[in-house]
Amino acid sequence: LGKMINIAELNNTQVASTKILKSELNAAVAAMQERLTEAETRISRLEDTSERLHTAVGERSKLTEAMLDRMQVLENHSKRNNVRVIGLKETIGIDGTLLSCVWKMLTEGLGVRDDAEFEIERAHRVFAPLPDPNRAPRPVLIRFLRQSARDKVIMAAKEKRGFEWQGCRLSVFPDMTKELAEKRKAFTAVKKKLQERNAKYTLAFPATLRVRWKGKNISFSSAKAAEKFFNEESQEENEQGEDTPNSINRLKLNEVGDFEQRRR
């Protein structure tokens, strides 16, 4: 009987211990569940905040890109009366005589007439350290008072394809931002292909390639789109052995960002 009592007491003790352990486990699980719920709530809030920030960053990026484009337009607009002269020796135009030397260069070397239309507002070299004697001289920036003078000077230089004056081989180019110059330079490979095929084209300002192709006028605002189109044209002609007049219809009118098709 005594042993049975001891066993009963031991069982009661174990049951009590099990209940206490169960109660502690339930409390721990409840606390863990509460922490998980709180963590899920915080994660959900962070995800919502992250999504809002992502949207805001995207909007700010678009706004920044638009502002940069406007800055480019304004900066290039401010250069509309400017030209760059490449090749004028550093020894010419020193001691404050650059303006008079530039005027002689334009009249004697380029054949510009001496009248008020070609009045020069200012002329100076690009702000950069003086190069070594064996390096190319710094370009000269010329700002005309009138845009018509600038256009005529560029046209005259283009017709001459460079000219010589005072022992210098000179070239004249429009003045523009570095970004726009790189964008226009990207069309060089396409222009060479068009020249090989005797196709009429022009690179309009700011950077739009306009081509007369198989009786239609097409324009490209992207050099990659132009290269892709003319590569496909060449491949198709090689396969068929003749021109395909209707191939130009592959251009999609909705691809405004790349190129557009227009008919006169």
pLDDT of residue 101: 93
Question: Quick one: pLDDT band at residue 214, thresholds 50, 70, 90?
Answer: confident
- Sequence-ordered list of residues with C-beta below 8 angstroms from that of 99, at least 6 positions apart, any chain: 93, 120, 122, 123
pLDDT of residue 3: 61
pLDDT of residue 237: 77
Higher-confidence residue of 80 and 235: namely: 80
pLDDT of residue 26: 87
Say if residues 144 and 120 touch (Cβ distance below 8 Å).
yes
pTM: 0.62
pLDDT of residue 134: 87
Determine the average pLDDT of the residues in 161-179: 91
pLDDT tens per residue, range 121-135: 999 999 889 899 889
